[in-house]
Amino acid sequence: MPHQICTSSLCLIKHLIPILYWLPALAQTTIQADVQHGYILPEYSNMQYLINAPAQGFSLSYVHNTKGKNYWERIYGYPEMGVSMFYSSLGNNEVNGYEWAAVPFIRFKLLGNEKMSLFHQMGLGLSYVSKKFDLETNYQNITTGSHINLHFTMRSGVKLGISNKVALIGGLSFDHFSNGNTFEPNLGLNTFAAFAGLNYTVETEKAREFPEIPALNKAWTQNISIRFGGKRARALVDEYFNTFSATYSVSRNYKHWFHLGAGIDAFYDASTRAEMEAAQSGPYLPRYDFQSGLHVEQTFVYNAFSFTLQEGFYLGLKYKVKNRPIYTRGFLKYTFSKHLAVSFAMKSHFHILDFPELGFDYKW
């Protein structure tokens, strides 16, 4: 099959998924340091009055540049992979505090050459937030219910080489953290900022390899998954509620890195009664704990890792909390044998995260 190395913005979506695939020994090591200055973007207008200062931060990153260790690196245009240690203020030191994060990331060159290039970077990691909601001592913090949170980052920018070892780097970034509804409140915070810094290459760059890309087998794949999770109800009650889901899906390989599919879902959510009472969504019946639906899905593959987006609508057993008709899910999967995989998923209703899940997949 003919193949072209990705160099256009059309490849942005497929570049999401090798976030955690930075561990193997790679060819070139770079240290990056940068600072950023920006603003908190509240998700709700009633949070705006709490923001009284810009968001300022810095990061120190360890980066490797792939050179073709396997054909997946060639398919994805020889990306850079690394981990960033990140610090930022959060617009109000007294209420929101500050954030420290460790974020594995992947960076792709979109256009350019060794002297000047445009890049796009995405990452997902964990963070520690110094201030959280407390009914007595910090009741104004309605965004953060826990010290430990998930941190998502996305950057686009320019890299300008000024010597064979030193480069300037700068651009725009978007960051979001929240705890996935494992604690309440869980609105999280968004930051939009400009960043600038320096790259220093520690090791001399090695020659790029061009491993052979195998022929694509456009086969249909069937998959069954079961996932277990939990959540706090938005009623701010102390109880932690269990969740469960089961999915059957079929998909087809259209590219090595891209699959399309569809499937059916069944959900169990023990928080339905508490959620309905808090939302005043009508009288509760025990069958409302169960939901069912249909979905379409897009999967982006990198070696044993994959990232799937699902867009579904409830059919049969409806979701009675505020009668939302549509649900979405995103999950990371690691395939460790021909038929078996483990996955981490997040279920949401548009921008409202519902609950995290851990599960197992069987495919054939």
| pLDDT tens digits for range 321-360 | 888 899 999 999 999 999 999 999 999 987 778 889 999 9
Radius of gyration of the chain (CA): 22
pLDDT at position 236, please?
A: 59
Q: What is the pLDDT of residues 33-61, one digit of tens each?
A: 999 999 998 766 656 778 889 999 999 99
Whether this prediction's pTM lies above 0.85 is answered by: no
> Low-confidence residues of the chain, pLDDT below 50?
1-27
pLDDT at position 207, please?
A: 76
pLDDT at position 16, please?
A: 42
| CATH 2.40.160 applies to domain 220-363 | yes
Name the residue ranges covered by the structural domains of the chain: 9-201, 220-363
Match 């908190």 to its residue by tokens: 40
The class level of CATH for 9-201 reads mainly beta
Same-fold call for 9-201 versus 220-363: yes
